Amino acid sequence: MRINERIRAPEVRVIDDDGKQLGIMSPATALQLALEKNLDLVEVAPQAKPPVCRLMDFGKYQYEQAKRERQARKAQKQIEVKEVRLRPKTGEHDTAVRLRQARKFLESGAKVKVRVRFRGREIRHPEVAIEILEEFARQLADVGEVEIKPNLEGRSLLMILAPIRS
């Protein structure tokens, strides 16, 4: 049995566990009523004039609230981000393999992060990597759209593709 000991107002508005208003009464009377019904007296609106208290099974209320939160989390769709890595000197066949992988990821609903990594002096020619990424995006235009344009991040050039919403 939980009873809110912080109720300091001279009078409170009491609502039954069914949602019916029982009226305005003293906190002691409301507590007595809660004890008789084997329920908890919970202050739900302390800023109201007079404060509003409700008769409820507080443990059951907390359980149901946690259950609703779990259901809401379960209903949320987690967006997955898959990564495809390339190099400026990646061969045509290897690029085609990466294209097929990216297409499969986009069709399954995941976002694709395309990364072109530079080694040594390759970073002095980012236009080569930009060209590779633009070609990649062009070939996947039927299943994905560019969400974040190619930008340099450290020693790699990144682009993010998102599946086209239908």
pLDDT, greater one: 50 or 8: 50
Q: Reduced to 3 states, what is the DSSP secondary structure of residue 149? A: strand
* pLDDT, mean of residues 54-72: 91
**DSSP class per residue in 14-44:** EE-TTS-EEEEE-HHHHHHHHHHTT-EEEEE
> How far is Cα 162 from Cα 111, in angstroms, rounded to an integer?
5
- Whether the CB-CB separation of 143 and 105 falls below 8 Å is answered with no
> Above 90 in pLDDT, residue 73?
no
Q: What is the pLDDT of residue 1?
A: 39
pLDDT digits (tens, 9 = 90+) for 86-102: 999 888 899 999 999 99
Confidence of residue 7 (pLDDT cuts 50, 70, 90): low
Q: What is the pLDDT of residue 6?
A: 60
pLDDT digits (tens, 9 = 90+) for 118-143: 999 988 988 889 999 999 999 999 99
- Token readout for 30 is 């409301």
Query: What domains, with CATH codes, occur in the chain?
Result: 12-75 (3.10.20.80), 81-163 (3.30.110.10)
